[in-house]
Amino acid sequence: AIRMTQSPSSFSASTGDRVTITCRASQGISSYLAWYQQKPGKAPKLLIYAASTLQSGVPSRFSGSGSGTDFTLTISCLQSEDFATYYCQQYYSYLLTFGGGTKVEIK
């Protein structure tokens, strides 16, 4: 199975910060990557698919980039409601896999 590695696993940031989360695939996955946001006790929410396409209704401060093995999720100006855990997911392979998650905490 394709392994997805996210970094960092957690970090602290302040409202208004620009933050970047990285996701690396163990083999090339073209642009078959999605990003999700999950808050405690809630189901995940799709943010981005095809590496850089914003899901309908998601604020434009979220953006994604990358292809092949290296991908990034950027939040241009962190808002209070963005403190959450973020996951990447590849769908290049029939065997889907998620990254380990990145928790964004309040500084």
Partner 1 sequence: EVQLVETGGGLIQPGGSLRLSCAASGFTVSSNYMSWVRQAPGKGLEWVSVIYSGGSTYYADSVKGRFTISRDNSKNTLYLQMNSLRAEDTAVYYCASGRRPYFNYWGQGTLVTVSS
The interface region with partner 1, picked from 17-25, 61-69, 71-79, 99-107 by CB under 8 A, is 99-107
Residue whose tokens read 């093995």? 69
The answer to the question of residue 52 lying near partner 1 (CB under 8 A) is no
Secondary structure (DSSP) of 42-91? S--EEEEETTTEEPTT--TTEEEEEETTEEEEEESS--GGG-SEEEEEE-
The answer to the question of residue 24 lying near partner 1 (CB under 8 A) is no
Question: By rule CB under 8 A, what string of x and - marks binding of each residue 79-98 to partner 1?
Answer: ------x-x-x-x--xxxxx
Chosen residue from 46, 54, 65, 69 binding partner 1 by CB under 8 A? 46
The CA dihedral of 16, 62, 86, 13, to the nearest 10 degrees, is -10
- C-beta of 16 vs 43, nearer to partner 1: 43
